[in-house]
Amino acid sequence: MATTLITGASLGIGLELAKYAASKGDNLILVARNEEKLNALATEIKTAYNVNVKVIAADLSNMQQVQMVYDVCKKENIAIDNLINNAGFGDFGLFAASDWAKIEQMIQLNITSLTKMCRLFIPDMIAKKSGKILNVASTAAFMPGPMMAVYFATKSYVLHFSEAIYNELQGTGVSITTLCPGATQSNFFVTADAENSKLVKGRKLPTAKEVAIFGYNAMRNKKMTAIHGIRNWILANSVRFSPRKLVLKITRMIQNEA
């Protein structure tokens, strides 16, 4: 029976990833800041799926707490078969008017903690010649994003970092998949203060459950990059052949408030 560690597991895609992994028989390590929500989810999952669930409350924008998550797994002799780095958030607005503390926390969580989680767990996976990783990026990874400049840049890092490690891990028995969802029904846009963006307002968006199932199965199938939805696939690939200034103008138009 596999053990799957999921960060950002208390809400949205992370929560749905936890439920779907449990439905496949995985034991779970659930990580997020909100211990109360994690405990409620753990109880629900254990009742529904009869799997083991361990909760670790941690703020992963703090690197000491990232290390703590790994140390707890080692101390309790828990071998991680699947690592899902889902924790992250965004911010909406002009960069010059942004809150630096929030920007710094975003970079720490979206980039540094994800990188450290990979660095901590990958050697153990290589040693046992098996393991799967799912890093959650975004279709934002394929383009610059006016009005969410830092968020888009962090997701570009996740995509390029993960694809490079995918290459490095060939022949080790370990795989790494980058999930790139587009706009999704979740709390993300509330947290980012972007509910009125043309990107989401009035649009029917895929559910977090749909994205989670797609991402988990892509990880299981050892895909390198998984873009959810044909519209998002076309968008992500078309920008490669478009003039950069045109991509910027279109992205800014979409990001502006409706």
- Between the alpha carbon of residue 108 and those of residues 19, 47, 149, 235, the distances in Å are 27, 35, 15, 28
Of 157, 27, 180, 6, the closest CA to residue 85 belongs to 6
Provide the terminal-to-terminal Cα distance of the chain, rounded to the nearest Å.
Answer: 48
Catalytic position from the list 49, 151, 166, 216 = 151
Beta-carbon contacts of residue 20 (< 8 Å; ≥ 6 apart): 209, 212, 213, 216
- The length of the chain in residues reads 258
Strand order in the sheet with 131-136: 53-57, 27-32, 3-7, 82-85, 131-136, 174-180, 225-227
Q: Tell me if residue 151 is catalytic.
A: yes
The answer to whether 8 and 86 are in contact (CB under 8 A) is: yes
- Write out the two tokens for 251: 């992205």
The answer to whether 220 and 28 are in contact (CB under 8 A) is: no
For the annotated catalytic residues, the residue numbers are 151
